[in-house]
Structure 1
């Protein structure tokens, strides 16, 4: 079931819920400049067998409102949008899963809205105050993104026709996916075609790259977290390479880590079964303890 959720006089968020309506709610939070459609359908189907799965489009992505040009916002405001989605759908508490910037938003939820979370799962992300989630994107003692990827990002906002934009995006996924697992360009071209059809346009957004990052240097506060948190290490991630995941586990209280070999900063079919297994085991354990 699809929804258009009004936040204020200018902002509407697209959201979708599917799966088991009697299951515990599970909110998926995607990364920067990416709509909820980037979550793969097989993963949604797998998680939907036991959960009421909710995904949504961030502001300036997909079918949600384009507002940044007139009303610039901060990254931390995007975390409040996640709470607004839960409120609008009548969800008191949910398991939350965040990828990349979505993982940063989940950490803000752990700090500011722990009462709304049953559990948290994050992957391909950095701890608050570190890496791209640090002051001005500083990496500090942790490795930064691959230099070739950083150079490629400099071309993100360039003018391209629709076909060239599609080719740019497929190549971007190839660079994000890492070099260990085979890369299926056709799979990611089909993904980008779905994203384009969903959003109704060929051009992507760079709004989240421009959003205010103040208020993210809060990593030390995470030590007090008591929400069960799973950190999934993607060892081939060129954005947040090891030891970012280990640092995140050391930063967040009540956290543990598992590794998915070969996984990078992308969700190819080859990692979906293992990813779903780890998320399901984590949420099932929390639900089981709650029932007991």
Structure 2
């Protein structure tokens, strides 16, 4: 089912649900600049066997309102949008999963809206700034993004014709995928064509990169989180490589760290089964404990 949700300040968000309405809800929170279609249909279908799965387009992506330059916002406002989606769908509490920037937003939800979360799962992200020092994993020792990606990001937003833009995006996905799991260029090319058709444009928005990042230095507060949390270690992630996930898991007392071998920062078909299995094992254990009541 597709619908639109009012998120405030004139923003409307495209939302899609899958799975039976009486199943435990699972909200998927995507990364920066990414449409909800970034969640592969195959992953949504696997999760929807056990959950009412909710995916949506962030502001300035997909079919949601694009108005950043007229009505700018902060990254933290995107966490509020996730709550607005739950409110609009009359969902009191939900399992929530986020990757990349979505992982930062899930951390904000853990801090500001813990009563709305049955559980949390996050990967491809890092701990919020200001976290308590860790004697085993020092922040200064956390590696940055792969230099090959940094070089590609310098070209982001350059004027290219459609075929050149598609080629650039597929190559970007190739790097994000990592070097272990197989990479299918056709699969990611088809994804980009679907996203462009869904969005009605090939133009990449810079809104999330330009959004105010203040109010994100809240890592120290993660020490009080009690919501059952799964941190997925993606060993081939070229943006937040190990030990970023371990550092995040150590900052959240309720967190459990699970490695998905070969996982990078892309959700290709080879990544879907093990990632879905990890998420479902986590949500099932929470539901079995009776925490849905």
The two structures share one fold, judged by TM-score above 0.5:
yes
DSSP 3-state at the match of 2:26: strand
Aligned length: 285
2:43–2:272 CA contact under 8 A, matched in 1 = yes
| 1:73-132 deviation digits (Å, cap 9, x = unpaired) | 11100000000000011000000000100000000000000010000000111110179x
Counterpart of 1:261 in structure 2 is: 261
1:130–1:140 CA contact under 8 A, matched in 2 = no
Structure 1 unmatched runs, 5+? 132-138
Query: RMSD over aligned Cα, in angstroms?
Result: 1.4
Aligned pairs for 1:133-212 within 5 A: 140-212=140-212
Q: Distance in 2 between matches of 1:155 and 1:206?
A: 13
TM-score by length of 1: 0.95
DSSP 3-state at the match of 2:271: helix
DSSP 3-state at the match of 2:28: strand
Structure 2 unmatched runs, 5+? 132-138
Aligned pairs for 1:1-292 within 5 A: 1-8=1-8, 10-129=10-129, 140-290=140-290
1:165–1:203 CA contact under 8 A, matched in 2 = no
DSSP 3-state at the match of 1:118: strand
Tell me how far 1:9 sits from its aligned partner: 5.4
1:142–1:243 CA contact under 8 A, matched in 2 = yes
DSSP 3-state at the match of 2:273: helix
Alpha carbons of 1:9 and 1:258: their partners in 2 closer, same or farther (altered >3 Å)? closer
Q: Distance in 2 between matches of 1:98 and 1:253?
A: 19
Alpha carbons of 1:61 and 1:99: their partners in 2 closer, same or farther (altered >3 Å)? same
DSSP 3-state at the match of 1:7: strand
Q: Distance in 1 between matches of 2:165 and 2:20?
A: 37
TM-score by length of 2: 0.94
